[in-house]
Structure 1
Amino acid sequence: MQNKVTVIGAGLAGCEAAWQLAERGIPVVLHEMKPEKKTPAHHADDFAELVCSNSLRSNELTNAAGLLKEELRRLGGLVIACADQTQVEAGGALAVDREAFARLVTEKIRNHPNIEIVPGEVTELPEEGHVIVATGPLTSDALFDAIHRKVGGEFLHFFDAAAPIVTFESIDMDNAYFASRYDKGTADYINCPLSREEFDPFWEALTTAEEAEVHGFEDKLVFEGCMPIEVNARRGHDTLLFGILKPIGLPDPKTGRDPYAVLQLRRDNAQGTLYNLVGCQTHLKWGEQKRIFSMIPALKNAEFVRYGVMHRNTFLDSPRLLDHNFALRADPRIRFAGQMTGVEGYVESNASGWLAGVATACEILGKPAPDLPSTTAIGALGNYVSNETVVKFQPMNINFGILEPLGYKVKGKREKNKQISERALEIIDSLKGEF
Structure 2
Amino acid sequence: MTYQIHIIGGGLAGSEAAWQLAEAGVRVRLSEMRGVEGTPAHHTDLLAELVCSNSFRSDDPEHNAVGLLHAEMRKLGSVILRCADAHRVPAGSALAVDREGFAVAVTQAIESHPNIELVRERIDALPEGHAIIATGPLTAAGLAEAIRSETGEEALAFFDAIAPIVHRELIDMDLAWFQSRWNKGDGHDYINCPMSKDEYLAFHAALLAGEKGEFREWERDTPYFEGCMPIEVMAERGVDTLRYGPMKPVGLDDPRTGRWPYAVVQLRQDNALGTLWNMVGFQTKLKHAEQVRVFRTIPGLQNAEFARLGGLHRNTFIQSPKLLDGTLRLRARPNIRFAGQITGCEGYVESAAIGLLAGRFAAAELAGTTLAPPPPETALGALLGHITGGATAETYQPMNVNFGLFPPLDVRSKKADRKGLMAARAREALATWAA
Pairwise same-fold verdict (TM > 0.5): yes
Aligned to 2:211: 210
**Counterpart secondary structure, 1:15:** helix
Inter-CA distance 66–296: structure 2 relative to 1 (3 Å threshold):
same
What is the Cα deviation at residue 323 of structure 1?
Answer: 1.4
Aligned to 1:83: 84
**Counterpart secondary structure, 1:56:** strand
Aligned to 1:224: 226
Aligned to 1:170: 170
**Counterpart secondary structure, 2:411:** coil
What is the Cα deviation at residue 329 of structure 1?
Answer: 1.3
Letter in 2 for 1:192: C
Tell me which moved more, 346-355 or 401-410: 401-410
Aligned to 1:146: 146
1:31-180 alignment, distance < 5 Å = 31-61=31-61, 62-127=63-128, 129-180=129-180
What is the Cα deviation at residue 126 of structure 1?
Answer: 1.3
Match of 1:394 among 377, 380, 397: 397
CA distance in 2, matches of 1:234, 1:108: 44
Aligned to 2:408: 405
Deviations 1:55-82 (A, max 9, x none): 0000012011101111000111110111
**Counterpart secondary structure, 1:348:** helix
CA distance in 1, matches of 2:178, 2:164: 19
What is the Cα deviation at residue 177 of structure 1?
Answer: 0.3
Q: Check whether the contact 1:56–1:95 (CA below 8 A) recurs between aligned residues.
A: yes
Deviations 1:370-398 (A, max 9, x none): 32121011111111111175241111000
Residue-pair matches, total: 431
1:364-383 alignment, distance < 5 Å = 364-383=366-385
Letter in 2 for 1:350: A
Aligned to 1:195: 196
Structure 1: 5+ residue stretches without partners: none
CA distance in 1, matches of 2:251, 2:186: 13
**Counterpart secondary structure, 2:181:** coil
Q: Percent identity?
A: 54
**Counterpart secondary structure, 1:200:** helix
Aligned to 2:350: 348
Aligned to 1:285: 287
Letter in 1 for 2:334: P
What is the Cα deviation at residue 217 of structure 1?
Answer: 4.6
Inter-CA distance 389–245: structure 2 relative to 1 (3 Å threshold):
closer
Inter-CA distance 28–75: structure 2 relative to 1 (3 Å threshold):
same
Moved over 6 A (4+): none
What is the Cα deviation at residue 43 of structure 1?
Answer: 0.4
Inter-CA distance 125–219: structure 2 relative to 1 (3 Å threshold):
closer
Q: Check whether the contact 1:190–1:266 (CA below 8 A) recurs between aligned residues.
A: yes
1:316 aligns with 2:315: no
CA distance in 1, matches of 2:285, 2:158: 14
Q: Check whether the contact 1:74–1:428 (CA below 8 A) recurs between aligned residues.
A: no
Letter in 1 for 2:200: F
Match of 2:254 among 237, 249, 252: 252
What is the Cα deviation at residue 8 of structure 1?
Answer: 0.3
1:12-27 alignment, distance < 5 Å = 12-27=12-27
Inter-CA distance 158–416: structure 2 relative to 1 (3 Å threshold):
same
Letter in 2 for 1:358: R
**Counterpart secondary structure, 2:267:** strand
What is the Cα deviation at residue 430 of structure 1?
Answer: 2.3
Aligned to 1:271: 273
**Counterpart secondary structure, 2:192:** strand
Structure 2: 5+ residue stretches without partners: none
1:2-13 alignment, distance < 5 Å = 4-13=4-13
Q: Check whether the contact 1:358–1:370 (CA below 8 A) recurs between aligned residues.
A: no
Deviations 1:116-150 (A, max 9, x none): 011111111112x2100000010011111111112
Letter in 2 for 1:381: L
Deviations 1:17-51 (A, max 9, x none): 00000001000000001111111000012100000
Inter-CA distance 10–146: structure 2 relative to 1 (3 Å threshold):
same
Q: Check whether the contact 2:131–2:336 (CA below 8 A) recurs between aligned residues.
A: yes
What is the Cα deviation at residue 367 of structure 1?
Answer: 2.1
What is the Cα deviation at residue 214 of structure 1?
Answer: 2.7
Q: Check whether the contact 1:32–1:118 (CA below 8 A) recurs between aligned residues.
A: yes
CA distance in 2, matches of 1:162, 1:327: 31
Q: Check whether the contact 2:2–2:27 (CA below 8 A) recurs between aligned residues.
A: no
CA distance in 2, matches of 1:196, 1:272: 30
Tell me which moved more, 246-255 or 384-393: 384-393
Letter in 2 for 1:279: G
Inter-CA distance 388–193: structure 2 relative to 1 (3 Å threshold):
closer
Q: Check whether the contact 2:409–2:422 (CA below 8 A) recurs between aligned residues.
A: yes
What is the Cα deviation at residue 184 of structure 1?
Answer: 3.1
**Counterpart secondary structure, 1:404:** coil
Q: Check whether the contact 1:56–1:346 (CA below 8 A) recurs between aligned residues.
A: yes
Q: Check whether the contact 1:12–1:353 (CA below 8 A) recurs between aligned residues.
A: yes
CA distance in 2, matches of 1:421, 1:152: 39
CA distance in 1, matches of 2:221, 2:250: 28
1:328-343 alignment, distance < 5 Å = 328-343=330-345
CA distance in 2, matches of 1:16, 1:257: 45
CA distance in 1, matches of 2:342, 2:222: 19
Letter in 1 for 2:86: Q
Deviations 1:392-418 (A, max 9, x none): 1111000100111111221133x2111
The alignment's TM-score, normalised by the length of structure 1, stands at 0.97
Inter-CA distance 388–70: structure 2 relative to 1 (3 Å threshold):
closer
